[in-house]
Amino acid sequence: MIGVFRAAWIIARKDLVVEARSRELAYTTLFFALSCVLVFSFALVHGAESPGADRATDAAFHSQLAAGILWVSIAFSGTLALGRTFERERQSETLRALLLAPVEHAAVYLGKLVTLLVLMFGVDLVVLPVVGFLFDAPLGAAPGLLLGVIAAGTLGFAAVGTLFAAMLVRAHSRDVLLPILLYPIAIPVILAGVRGTAAIFAAEPDLGSAFLWFSMLVFFDLVFVTLALWTFGPAMGE
């Protein structure tokens, strides 16, 4: 019996090696995230700004829009990645082997979570500059806090998502059930992420409220990782 963190690291490293060889998840997730940014831009941005338009309202609207589109693409592409990571384990019947391994079940959860986080952070780091470029969002206004909000939000989303994706591996119609279960529960993360990011993107960054949203995300992460660690064992048990 090896330590939980060491076992988690071994599982994560295994997944990352598999992923590094095929790069299937990285490419598909990234491309899907960029497609989301484009689709939502076309849906929400109205043509060229007319010269007479109110500049200030436009700027405020744009900072909201950029934050919203960023988080929608993070959530949607994250769902795609979640489904695929466990589909891989299901196809080769390896999840059972993982669960039979003489390690704590929590280690399996943590290992999967680390893999997904590496993947989703990678996507975040590409999508963020793209959103900054397309919407003229001030990425440099408070880079540390911005990265903190995005990292904390991604962690919260992945923490709940990993648990549900793992549980649903053996359920019927899992592809449909994952977003149905995940989105209502992830609403606080999305909301706090969007509000925090919009506060930083605003023409006059409101760092106080951005920090408040960041703290809420951290608190949410703590509660949900704890709950997930506690329920993962019983839920995957038999």
DSSP of 106-141: HHHHHHHHHHHHHHHHHHHHHHHHHHHHHHT--TTS
The helix/strand/coil state of 100 is helix
Under the criterion CB under 8 A, does residue 225 sit at the interface with another protein?
A: no
In the list 147, 212, 215, 218, the residue contacting another protein (rule: CB under 8 A) is 212
Nearer to another protein, 28 or 209 (CB): 209
Q: How many residues bind another protein (CB under 8 A)?
A: 32
Tell me the residue type at 22. S
Query: What is the smallest separation between the CB atom of 160 and another protein, expressed in angstroms?
Result: 7
CA distance 68 to 61: 10
Q: Residue 115's CB: how many other CB atoms inside 10 A?
A: 24
Of 70, 69, 72, 59, the residue nearest 202 (C-alpha)? 59
CA distance 161 to 102: 24
In the list 11, 103, 110, 168, the residue contacting another protein (rule: CB under 8 A) is 168
In the list 42, 56, 172, 204, the residue contacting another protein (rule: CB under 8 A) is 172
Under the criterion CB under 8 A, does residue 224 sit at the interface with another protein?
A: yes
Nearer to another protein, 37 or 217 (CB): 217
CA distance 167 to 236: 6
In the list 7, 152, 216, 225, the residue contacting another protein (rule: CB under 8 A) is 216
Which residues of this protein are in contact with another protein, per CB under 8 A? 160, 163-164, 167-168, 170-173, 176-177, 180-181, 184-185, 187-188, 191-192, 195, 209, 212-213, 216, 220, 223-224, 227, 231, 234-235, 237
